[in-house]
Amino acid sequence: MEKSEDEKALDEGAVYITLGEEEIKLTACEDACSKIERAFGGLRPAFESVPNYNRQEWATIIAAGAGMKQKRANLLPGKIYTAGMTGLMAPLQKYLLMLMQGGSLTVDDDDEDTAGEEGNG
C-alpha cells in the first residue's frame, strides 16, 4: 500500500504545519532539539507545554523546527493566532515525539521481531 503524504513526511523526519497561506516544514534534527531543550529545559517540558495553548511557546518550537531567523520567528505568534490554534496541537506534539525518538516515529521491523526474545529466556 502506498503511504500518505503524512506518512512520507514522518519517514523523512519532518512534520508540516500550515499557518495561513504558508506551509512550514518542521525538521526533526539535533539542532532543533538543542534549541528546544535550551528554551524549555528539556523535551518533556516542551511536550507538556503544548496543551497550554501558549502562542509564544508554540512559536519557539516552530522557529526551532523550521530553522527560522529571529526576525521571521517574531511574526509567528500573530500567524498562529490568525491560523487558529486547535489544528496545530497534534502536529506539534507529533513533532516533539519525533525529536524524542531521534527524528522518526517509525519502528524498525527488526527491533520488533527481536524485542520479545531478549531477556525472557
Whole-angstrom distance, CA of residue 77 vs CA of residue 98? 23
User: Is 0.85 topped by the overall pTM?
Assistant: no
| pLDDT tens column, 61-100 | 999 999 999 999 999 999 999 999 999 999 999 999 999 9
Q: Where are the domains of the chain?
A: 30-101
